């Protein structure tokens, strides 16, 4: 990642999935408002993010386009590199390529991809994808991937991975340009994620790459309404074993029916008005997180609150 960025340039907006045209409009609007980067998740059965970004790239000029994430095992790493090459032609230096292992039921049930050793597979994936993007060529022989090829250019696209457990954060420190957290307690990122990334970087003899820390924002006058909205918006993750284990390991075990505790929600969401939210984002940027990925939690008016967040991030 780049050094010397302003606080505004270190904060990105999570652009919600939906119709491609609407997403592209949001990227363009966010850019006009001064937002430095936009990120979008990709469901295994949803719209293809990199295809959408090709359209967004020619309708925007400065906003960085981050994938958080694309499921790695649904496509070969060299094929992803060829897509990144096109995007770098259309929007030089603006793609932030986040990949991840996704989840076992999705990979096995839909794509038929073996999921017994996902992190080992991801390590090999990275040893193909990052070198070819940074060096323009790669020769790799592994258990899962065997590739020898060259691109007509080396765009230098940053390659990040989604990380949840200590081993994945350590892998990010060793082999990538950064880690992306998702629905992760702040305490856990300070106490587990950053030290694990340091260990991985030390193993590779390099500086620790950036942590892009995911945090949610709820514009609300009272905490109870924000808690209710957050439980609804993030309810999916409380049902996933990977997340259940991580929450418990972080000291915030889920309650009956896998319910988020208030203490856990205080770790996942910033609640308040523009002034208090902006102040808290400033604090997080000063406390060890190189970048923030901010997601709006709709409390009473999804579109209106999304607009308030865009305006806030554009003037940080």
pTM: 0.94
Q: What's the rounded Cα separation, in Å, for the pair 165 and 243?
A: 9
Half-sphere exposure of 296 (CA within 13 A, CB side): 25
Q: What's the rounded Cα separation, in Å, for the pair 221 and 243?
A: 29
Q: What is the pLDDT of residues 155-187, one digit of tens each?
A: 999 999 999 999 999 999 999 999 999 999 999
The parent domain of residue 116 ranges over: 8-314
Number of domains comprising the chain:
1
Q: Give, to the nearest 10 degrees, the angle between helix 166-175 and helix 194-204.
A: 40
Instruction: Give the per-residue pLDDT at 61.
Output: 98
Q: What's the rounded Cα separation, in Å, for the pair 268 and 58?
A: 34
Domain for residue 139, yes or no?
yes
CA distance readout (Å), 123 to 100, 174, 245 = 11, 10, 22
Domain for residue 3, yes or no?
no
Domain for residue 86, yes or no?
yes
Domain for residue 1, yes or no?
no
Domain for residue 142, yes or no?
yes
- Beta pairing, strands 146-150 & 137-141: antiparallel
Indicate which CATH number applies to the domain containing 255. 3.20.20.30
Instruction: Give the per-residue pLDDT at 47.
Output: 84
Instruction: Give the per-residue pLDDT at 115.
Output: 67
| 167, 194, 214, 99: CA torsion to nearest 10 | -40
Instruction: Give the per-residue pLDDT at 108.
Output: 57
Which stretches of the chain drop beneath a pLDDT of 50?
none
Q: Tally Cβ neighbours within 10 Å of residue 265.
A: 22
Instruction: Give the per-residue pLDDT at 110.
Output: 67
Instruction: Give the per-residue pLDDT at 294.
Output: 98
Domain for residue 35, yes or no?
yes
Domain for residue 32, yes or no?
yes
Instruction: Give the per-residue pLDDT at 43.
Output: 75
């Amino acid at each position: 990642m780049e050094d010397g960025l302003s606080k505004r340039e270190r904060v990105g907006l999570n652009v919600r999935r939906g119709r491609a045209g609407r997403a592209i409009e949001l990227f363009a609007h966010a850019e006009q408002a001064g937002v430095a980067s936009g990120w979008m998740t990709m469901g295994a059965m949803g719209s293809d993010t990199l295809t959408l970004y090709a359209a967004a790239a020619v309708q925007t000029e400065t906003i960085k386009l981050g994938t958080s994430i694309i499921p790695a095992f649904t496509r070969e790493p060299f094929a992803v590199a060829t897509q990144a090459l096109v995007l770098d032609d259309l929007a030089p230096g603006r793609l932030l390529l986040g990949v991840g292992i996704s989840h076992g039921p999705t990979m096995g049930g839909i794509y038929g991809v073996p999921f017994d050793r996902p992190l080992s597979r991801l390590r090999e994936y990275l040893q193909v994808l990052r070198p070819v993007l940074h060096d323009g060529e790669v020769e790799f022989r592994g258990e899962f991937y065997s590739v020898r090829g060259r691109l007509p250019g080396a765009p230098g696209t940053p390659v990040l991975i989604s990380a949840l457990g200590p081993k994945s954060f350590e892998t990010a420190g060793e082999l990538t340009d950064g880690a992306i957290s998702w629905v992760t307690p702040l305490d856990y990122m300070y106490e587990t994620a950053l030290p694990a990334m340091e260990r991985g970087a030390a193993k590779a003899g390099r500086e620790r790459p950036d942590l892009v820390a995911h945090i949610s924002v709820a514009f609300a006058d009272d905490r109870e309404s924000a808690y209710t909205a957050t439980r609804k918006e993030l309810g999916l993750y409380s049902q996933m074993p990977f997340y259940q284990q991580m929450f418990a390991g972080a000291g915030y075990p889920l309650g009956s029916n896998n319910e988020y505790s208030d203490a856990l929600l205080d770790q996942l969401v910033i609640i308040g008005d523009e002034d208090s939210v902006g102040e808290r984002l400033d604090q997080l940027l000063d406390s060890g997180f190189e970048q923030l990925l901010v997601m709006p939690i709709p409390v009473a008016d999804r579109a209106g609150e999304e607009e308030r967040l865009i305006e806030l991030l554009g003037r940080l």
